[in-house]
């Protein structure tokens, strides 16, 4: 009876299933949302005494020992460290590269170990030796950091873990390039009250060996500082405050893959949308019920095109009053920007890639293998010096992806100009020789060959 009552309370309050984003604003992969009929069916079952079903019990699911990436290509272990402070502590750890060859990260999964003490984890790669020097100059494992800067000027963010975070799995040809010899650097934020404790942290990685790779970038395009946020992030005691931040204009068309908004305990609401150069609005996400304990990197079921000249806008609301049950201070005190759990942040990370025609139609939930059509496409003039025209089916309504592969197996993606029934390719960047062309349109693959003079 107690379990049924707790279940009923969690459903009616919206606490379960956990999904802070508003599904009426935008949709994401893996939404933990009950429909009205599903919710009512559970409530009716509880009201009838929660009887056991009459059918066969379903099989116990297998979870690969709790991991989504069950057989990773590499497991990166963060050095063991005993927390040395009872306040918020930030410590960065270097794990030296295991390969001098460039690799492509297709999936990342974090195991934070002791979740009672790990507030968040930022994972970078550093192609310089700066992080190693900082590590060598600091006694003990790792080196102190401040939570607000990259470990070096050339370091690149590759992953984030916060409570509730799911693994990142890139479909299609999307991946994060990892230069040969680049070290992994992990910045760990240990929560207050963790002194003397340890966390067993590691990261699982899947690498891709696709013929060509589309680079994924991972950046805080909305950030709690200039030029994104032009006023101080400051919430006086006993007030509710809303802040507005903007991104720079998109220099090219980009495709948004995922969005990860982040605040702390005073956060109530975070809304993000794009505005194009012609003032069209592009909904991205509306977290209308912020919960610090359930934070997600929300992946779009189809990539969202952000045209050149667009800006991203973020609006975040904070409640620093006694009405906020998560307020860590009673009575409330003034709260400003900071990395500590009881400070506040307003940052939104995005994974994105340069836009290609048809990105909006790519299924980001499940990859379906394209069908190879043996009939080659008509190509002219052949041989060619700089321009190539290809007749394409009339039912192709956008330019396909075009991959040129030389006789040594080296591949280059070519830019194409689409016209009804024909596309034009610029081949000036290619060296002289014979090439195999592959055209990918939705779920079709067509091929042809040509000679570059």
211, 314 contact by CB (below 8 A):
no
pLDDT on residue 64:
56
Cis amide leading into 75 (omega within 30): no
156, 287 contact by CB (below 8 A):
no
- Nearest residue to 246 (alpha-carbon basis) of 193, 313, 183, 168: 313
Instruction: Give 165-186 as a DSSP string.
Output: PPPEE--TTEEEEE-TTPEEEE
| Residue 101 φ/ψ, nearest 5 degrees | -100, 140
- Nearest residue to 91 (alpha-carbon basis) of 24, 147, 27, 130: 147
112 to 19, 65, 123, 342: CA distances (angstroms) = 21, 15, 12, 21
Instruction: Give 325-366 as a DSSP string.
Output: TT-SSSS---EEB-SSTTSB--EEEEEEEE--TTGGG--SS-
- Nearest residue to 86 (alpha-carbon basis) of 318, 381, 341, 423: 341
Q: How do beta strands 217-222 and 347-354 pair?
A: antiparallel
176, 169 contact by CB (below 8 A):
no
pLDDT on residue 199:
92
H-assigned helices in 196-325 = none
Mean of the per-residue pLDDT values of the chain: 89
**CA 110 from centroid of its chain's CA atoms:** 13
257, 352 contact by CB (below 8 A):
yes
- Nearest residue to 440 (alpha-carbon basis) of 257, 176, 173: 173
Encode pLDDT of 164-193 as tens digits.
Answer: 788 898 988 899 999 999 999 999 999 999
Encode pLDDT of 72-121 as tens digits.
Answer: 999 999 999 999 999 999 999 999 998 999 999 999 999 998 988 998 89
| Token representation of residue 32 | 């933990």
Cβ neighbours of residue 303 under 8 Å, at least 6 residues apart? 255, 256, 257, 353, 359, 360, 362, 364
| Token representation of residue 310 | 């667009």
pLDDT on residue 443:
64
Encode pLDDT of 134-153 as tens digits.
Answer: 999 999 999 999 876 788 98
| pLDDT above 80 for 433 | yes
- Nearest residue to 272 (alpha-carbon basis) of 316, 318, 317, 217: 316
> Which of 95-109, 318-332, 401-415 bottoms out in mean pLDDT, i.e. has the lowest?
401-415
- pLDDT more than 70, % of the chain: 96
């Amino acid at each position: 009876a107690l379990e049924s009552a707790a279940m009923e309370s969690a459903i009616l309050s919206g606490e379960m299933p956990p999904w802070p984003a508003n599904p009426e604003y935008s949709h994401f992969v893996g939404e933990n949302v009950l429909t009205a009929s599903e919710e009512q069916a559970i409530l009716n079952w509880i009201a009838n005494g929660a009887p056991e079903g009459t059918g066969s019990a379903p099989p116990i699911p297998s979870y690969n020992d709790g991991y989504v990436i069950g057989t990773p290509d590499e497991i990166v272990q963060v050095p063991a460290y005993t927390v040395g402070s009872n306040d918020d502590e930030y410590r960065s750890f270097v794990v030296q590269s295991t390969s001098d060859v460039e690799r492509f990260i297709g999936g990342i999964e974090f195991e934070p170990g002791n979740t009672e003490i790990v507030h968040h984890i930022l994972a970078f790669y550093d192609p310089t030796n700066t992080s190693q020097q900082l590590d060598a100059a600091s006694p003990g494992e790792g080196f102190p950091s401040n939570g607000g800067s990259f470990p070096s000027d050339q370091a690149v963010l590759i992953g984030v873990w916060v409570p509730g975070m799911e693994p990142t799995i890139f479909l299609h040809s999307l991946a994060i390039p990892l230069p040969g010899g680049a070290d992994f650097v992990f910045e760990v934020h240990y929560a207050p009250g963790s002194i003397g404790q340890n966390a067993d942290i590691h990261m699982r990685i899947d690498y891709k060996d696709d013929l060509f790779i589309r680079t994924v970038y991972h950046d805080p395009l909305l950030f709690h500082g200039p030029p994104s946020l032009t006023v101080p992030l400051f919430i006086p005691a006993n007030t509710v405050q809303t802040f507005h931040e903007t991104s720079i204009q998109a220099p090219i068309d980009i495709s948004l893959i995922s969005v990860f908004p982040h605040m702390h305990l005073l956060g109530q609401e975070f809304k993000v949308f794009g505005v194009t150069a012609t003032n069209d609005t592009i909904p991205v996400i509306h977290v209308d019920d912020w919960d610090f304990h359930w934070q997600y990197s929300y992946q779009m079921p189809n990539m969202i095109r952000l045209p050149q000249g667009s800006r991203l806008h973020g609006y975040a609301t904070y409640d620093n009053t006694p009405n906020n049950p998560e307020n860590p201070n009673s009575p409330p005190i003034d709260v400003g920007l900071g990395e500590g759990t009881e400070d506040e942040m307003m940052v939104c990370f995005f994974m994105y890639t340069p836009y290609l025609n048809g990105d909006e139609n790519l299924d980001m939930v499940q990859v379906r293998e394209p069908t190879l059509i043996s009939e080659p496409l008509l190509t002219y003039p052949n041989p060619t010096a700089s321009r190539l025209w290809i007749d394409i089916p009339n039912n192709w309504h956008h330019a396909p992806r075009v991959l040129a592969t030389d006789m040594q197996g080296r591949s280059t993606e070519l830019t194409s100009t689409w016209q009804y029934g024909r596309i034009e390719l610029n081949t000036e960047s290619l060296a002289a020789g014979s090439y195999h062309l592959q055209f990918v349109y939705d779920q079709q693959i067509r091929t042809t060959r040509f000679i570059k003079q």
